[in-house]
A and B are shown apart, each in its own frame.
Chain A
Amino acid sequence: MFEYAPAPESRSVVDIAPSYGLFINGTFEAPGSTGGVFKTVNPATEEVLAEVSAAGSEDVDRAVAAARSAFGPWSALPGAERAKYLFRIARIIQERSRELAVLESLDNGKPIKESRDVDLPLVAAHFFYYAGWADKLEYAGFGASPRPIGVAAQVIPWNFPLLMLAWKIAPALATGNTVVLKPAETTPLTALFFADICRQADLPPGVVNIITGAGETGRTLVEHPGVDKVAFTGSTEVGRQIARSVAGTGKRLTLELGGKAANIVFDDAPIDQAVEGIVNGIFFNQGHVCCAGSRLLVQESAYDEVMESLKRRMATLRLGDPLDKNTDIGAINSAEQLERIRVLTDAGSQEGAERWSPPCELPAQGFWFAPTIFTGVTQAHRIAREEIFGPVLSVLTFRTPAEAIEKANNTPYGLSAGIWSEKGSLILAVADKLRAGVIWANTFNKFDPTSPFGGYKESGYGREGGRHGLEAYLG
């Protein structure tokens, strides 16, 4: 085999400060806060990247107050003016995209080719898309004079830190709301750099406030009485707690939660592209994707062919340094997540499923998990029901379209699904019957700012992206 020499992306484009304060009312406060400080590490090396402040309840008060006082003037601005701020932000992101991509890979562990070619282009495109809506809201189909809601509390996960920030902040600002956003504890850095971009864009103080911290900070923010709207992306369990906590408060709520998507391969599929889709479906971003195609449903008549091809393809996956331009699989985001993956995969083995990984050397430092598939999985196995959120695929089989649909829908989740077939009528009929918010037919894990994203059932409610994404931020 022809070995590619190491091809690391340069770290020198990013200047990470040793410590960061909260970004409230347009200024970075001094590091340290009432909630103390915590460290964010590079999951590929366990190297400490920076010390970050944990916002306590007084900090949350200040952030919400700043957003509240900014709300009046911001919502009163003509839409065209708000639009220009967002266009400006989109442009700065494009200009600083290499820096942000490297930073995202450092803090998250995702391969640079993904942060460079997927995350950052989508982040800029999202701001660009919603910028254009700001002065066209009366045409969006939500009434003749749609109004913003007020102060939005936004809590985002660690799997696509900057992209999830874009999904939250762009529509909120376009519609005239102001925000207090909390990035995930393990990936706070790109959000803090985004705060700097807001300053660079001369965004009025208080329109965007970034407060860092762990779950407790998030809870304080979500439960803050000064907040009118809560938007959360993360686990179904936390989503449930938030839905309980906002009950009776009148706060508007949108949730984008977990998934256990079925990726259904029929025997008339374009096999080579289906295998790429399976690989992209579960190994993209180390499987840290809520819409990951984590349950492969293969028609029995194509099983051998698909599995042989899949294993051969998995053997070419390159795991290692996230900053190496040739890395396909980076680091697991945290020790905690690695432990969860281990617990569930151990359960898979104990429950009798057969485990396979290609030969794959894991680095000694950092958090790593080899791409893994389980065959012989049944609907009753934990690995077929619970979201693993890692590079682990459960393979099940089916014989007829009806059986595939039944198995695909047999889950409390309903975020996404995949269908592979060359027969148009089959695809359309199956797509109609799948209870999931995003259906990828003959493709997988495709995202676009114009395309609404969100789940059925316990995968949450509300849509992000597209015209539909405005609804969550309009009164």
Chain B
Amino acid sequence: MKAADTAWRHTLAKKPPAVTAPAAPVRLGVRKTYKLFIGGKFPRSESGRTYLVNGDNVALASRKDARDAVVAARAAQPKWAGATAYNRGQVLYRIAEMLESRRDEFAAQGVPVAEVEAAVDRWVWYAGWADKIAQVHGGANPVAGPFFNISAPEPTGVVAVVAPASFLGLVSVIAPAIVTGNTVVVLAAGPQAAVTLAEVIATSDVPGGVVNILTGNAAETAPWLASHDDVNAIDLAGVTDLELATELERAAAGNLKRVLRPGDPENDFTADPGLKPMVALLETKTVWHPKGF
């Protein structure tokens, strides 16, 4: 019922029927404004710029928006990382629930239903990893001495993400980053779906600042994130221009960011992602303590 309404609204918003003399007044749809998602709020670009995507004016993020997003991500990071893994898992599962209920809205934006469903399932998959990754990727080390010694994964910190174009790709780069306690600044490719995902996230108990989504031109904003000294890692999954990728990787060397290089352009996001997307954004902390009385 609700889904049908949503689909109708979009159809109306996208393709207003040709104006003929109506027999009865047709209700005028309320259109959505596609804004940025920073610190849990939906601001316009500070630059005041928008660009047209399929007839919609979408906020065109500037370097200052990227800067603000990093501030928001940094501010949110310690508390998000400090939340219990169980809690983070619950929050990710809540995202899956919200996404499921809005499947048709994404479909109306042109995301195939199967892809939206795969994205829901991906959130569920990662939700379950929240309280397991430390057991799989960490553990006790049997050192040759009277010491307690344990290695545990910790989030890298603030991660900049140049997202792939597909919706499943977008979810597949955000989820593994945040499930372990990182916060992200995402440069999104498919802007309407990305902003709608931001709305899903904003209504899923995700603390403000954990996910920040910027729409616009990644080639313009990504270099600012790649060279930003308060960003700990950069995922270049969505960079298709190899020259730009090299430039970003070089800029990322400034503060020794962890760099996830662009994947295969044919990257099949439907495949089992394995541990790599999570592990690449984890640090291993090893703690020693003597044993004795």
Chain A residues with a Cβ under 8 A of chain B: 125, 141, 143, 236, 239-241, 243-244, 247-248, 250, 255, 257, 412, 427, 431, 436-443, 446, 448, 450-454, 456-461, 463, 466-468, 471
- Assess the A448–B145 pair: CB atoms within 8 A: yes
Cα separation A450 to B245 with both chains bound (whole Å)? 36
4 smallest beta-carbon distances between A and B, as pairs: A248-B246, A243-B253, A247-B249, A448-B143
List 5 additional A-B contacts (Cβ < 8 Å) besides A243-B253, A437-B284. A244-B250, A248-B242, A248-B245, A431-B285, A451-B286
Shortest beta-carbon distance from A37 to chain B in Å: 33
Of A141, A143, A247, A456, the residue contacting B253 (CB under 8 A) is A247
Q: Which of B113-149 contact A (CB under 8 A)?
A: 136-137, 139, 141-145, 147, 149
CB neighbours (8 Å) of A457 from chain B are 232, 255-256
CB neighbours (8 Å) of A458 from chain B are 255-256
Cα separation A257 to B145 with both chains bound (whole Å)? 26
Shortest beta-carbon distance from A211 to chain B in Å: 25
Given contacts A436-B285, A450-B141, contact A460 B274 (CB under 8 A): no
Chain B residues with a Cβ under 8 A of chain A: 136-137, 139, 141-145, 147, 149, 151, 156, 229, 232, 242-243, 245-247, 249-250, 252-256, 258-259, 261, 274-275, 279, 283-290
Cα separation A459 to B139 with both chains bound (whole Å)? 22
- Assess the B290–A442 pair: CB atoms within 8 A: yes
CB neighbours (8 Å) of B254 from chain A are 240
Shortest beta-carbon distance from B264 to chain A in Å: 12
Cα separation A467 to B136 with both chains bound (whole Å)? 11
- Assess the B256–A451 pair: CB atoms within 8 A: no
- Assess the B285–A466 pair: CB atoms within 8 A: no
CB neighbours (8 Å) of B290 from chain A are 442-443
- Assess the B253–A248 pair: CB atoms within 8 A: no
Cα separation A466 to B149 with both chains bound (whole Å)? 11
- Assess the B145–A452 pair: CB atoms within 8 A: no
Cα separation A412 to B157 with both chains bound (whole Å)? 13
Cα separation A302 to B259 with both chains bound (whole Å)? 43
- Assess the A439–B141 pair: CB atoms within 8 A: no
- Assess the A240–B253 pair: CB atoms within 8 A: yes
Most central of B274, B287, B289 by chain A CB within 10 Å: B287
Given contacts A125-B144, A141-B137, A463-B284, contact A427 B246 (CB under 8 A): no
Cα separation A459 to B242 with both chains bound (whole Å)? 27
- Assess the B289–A442 pair: CB atoms within 8 A: yes
Cα separation A461 to B250 with both chains bound (whole Å)? 15
- Assess the A451–B250 pair: CB atoms within 8 A: no
Shortest beta-carbon distance from B236 to chain A in Å: 11
Given contacts A125-B144, A248-B242, A451-B149, contact A440 B255 (CB under 8 A): no
